[in-house]
Amino acid sequence: MEFKNLFSTYRINDLEVKNRFLMAPMTRSRASQPGDIPNELMAKYYAQRASAGIIITEATQISLQGMGYAKTPGIYTKQQIEGWKLTTKAVHEAGSTIFLQLWHVGRVSSSKVNGLQPIGPSNLMANNTNVYIFDGAPNGDATFVPVDEPKEMTKLDINVVIEEFTKGAKNAIEAGFDGVEIHGANGYLIDQFLRSNSNQRTDEYGGNQEKRIRFLIEITKAVVLAVGKEKTGVRLSPFISFKDMNDPEILQTIMLAVKELNKLDITYIHLCEADWDDAPKIPIEFREKLRANFKNTIIVTGNKTPVEAEELLEKNLVDLVGFGRKFLTNPDYPERVKKNALLNEISDNHTLFGGGTERGYTDYPFLN
């Protein structure tokens, strides 16, 4: 198959990307300690994968409070900003575009990770949900621990987090990123506000759908004001309900949020779609409605094959398609697609999270 759409260029505001392949955000827990600082190894990892037209980094916490897993990078200290400059410089020199994903996990955390009690829209713990630490387990494996009960956020807490997202966005631009992605998906803090089962507030941030989207919209407005609408994207996950996030109203709530985000003229919406084998399929009607309600770039990520990506692009339902594990193991994934070449598989599951060496991170071979 020729994949003429996947290999076509695309303009996202003032940025022209060389193809429609997007490297999806994937947590790898390689930040240097202490301080959760991005490093040379991470820069090499991202630069190797600059065959993607655009890269979205792994989720990056906007504060220590926003951290939920061990050794994930931050964007709230000077050392972290300087560390990220290694990555942006390397990726730009290798010919790609890169956005930083801004992250606050909310209730999906444990004091064993950061020494702090988690916070959330309500004091409801996420059932059957774990995070990980590194405590000397064999093979350097992560040890999974249950999340703690969160503290319900006060209005002051809400204002602090909005400011942290704003500062994180400014820091990302200072570090050389082309833009930022606000992580509003996968059961983390913003998603917790969107859903009726995790948000049981009775103030202006909870209750009906209009109030539940307020936190997302206020954060987005603040980030747009800080760095510009052309540098701001938002990630949402309407069809994902793990981390105890099953909400019967979420599709209507997400679409209401989309309409408000469209008014803000942000540069893109990124749909995170389930990537397991029996995952729910996204109805074509939802994709058509999203396209009708959002005028700018639409990105989808979720275990798509190149054929599926090409079909979505051909039907003008999406503009960019994210690939995760394929880029993890194949830094030259677009070239392999073009040549219908064999793909590398994950060499060792122990290296997916954590580890301070190249093994299972930057040692996956190129085709040539």
Q: What are the C-alpha distances in Å from 184 to residues 82, 235, 240, 260, 315?
A: 26, 5, 12, 14, 26
* Residues catalogued as catalytic: 188
Is the pLDDT confidence value at 279 over 80? no
Predicted pLDDT at 58: 98
Nearest residue to 58 via CA among 18, 92, 87: 87
Nearest residue to 104 via CA among 14, 212, 182, 26: 182
Which tens digits make up the pLDDT trace of 218-235?
Answer: 999 999 999 999 999 999
Is the pLDDT confidence value at 276 over 70? no
Q: Could you give the 3-state DSSP secondary structure of residue 219?
A: helix
Is the pLDDT confidence value at 88 over 80? yes
Band (pLDDT 50/70/90 cuts) for residue 137 is confident
Angle at 234 between CA 232 and CA 240, to 5 degrees: 170
Residue type, 99: F
Which tens digits make up the pLDDT trace of 322-368?
Answer: 999 999 999 999 999 999 999 999 988 889 998 778 999 999 999 98
Q: What is the mean pLDDT of residues 206-224?
A: 98
Q: From CA 296, how far away is CA 13, in angstroms rounded? A: 9
Q: Which residues pair with 300 in a beta bridge?
A: 271, 321
103: part of which helix (H) or strand (E)? strand 97-103
Predicted pLDDT at 219: 99
Q: From CA 285, how far away is CA 294, in angstroms rounded? A: 14
Q: From CA 237, how far away is CA 254, in angstroms rounded? A: 8
Is the pLDDT confidence value at 204 over 70? yes
Q: Which residue has the higher pLDDT, 140 or 245?
A: 245
Give me the chain's average pLDDT, please: 96
Q: What is the mean pLDDT of residues 301-329?
A: 96
Q: From CA 48, how far away is CA 155, in angstroms rounded? A: 43
Predicted pLDDT at 274: 77
User: In this structure, are residues 60 and 102 in contact, taking their beta carbons and an 8 Å threshold?
Assistant: yes
What is the model's pTM? 0.97
Domains of the chain: 10-351 (3.20.20.70)
Is the pLDDT confidence value at 255 over 70? yes
**Residues sharing a CB contact under 8 Å with residue 259, sequence separation 6 or more, in sequence order:** 293
Q: From CA 171, how far away is CA 84, in angstroms rounded? A: 10
Q: Which residues pair with 157 in a beta bridge?
A: none
Q: What is the mean pLDDT of residues 315-320?
A: 98
Predicted pLDDT at 225: 98
Which tens digits make up the pLDDT trace of 151-162?
Answer: 999 999 999 999
Predicted pLDDT at 270: 98
User: In this structure, are residues 165 and 217 in contact, taking their beta carbons and an 8 Å threshold?
Assistant: no
User: In this structure, are residues 336 and 348 in contact, taking their beta carbons and an 8 Å threshold?
Assistant: no
Predicted pLDDT at 355: 74
Q: From CA 294, how far away is CA 301, in angstroms rounded? A: 17
User: In this structure, are residues 147 and 129 in contact, taking their beta carbons and an 8 Å threshold?
Assistant: yes
Band (pLDDT 50/70/90 cuts) for residue 277 is low
**Residues sharing a CB contact under 8 Å with residue 194, sequence separation 6 or more, in sequence order:** 184, 212, 213, 216, 247, 250, 253, 254, 257
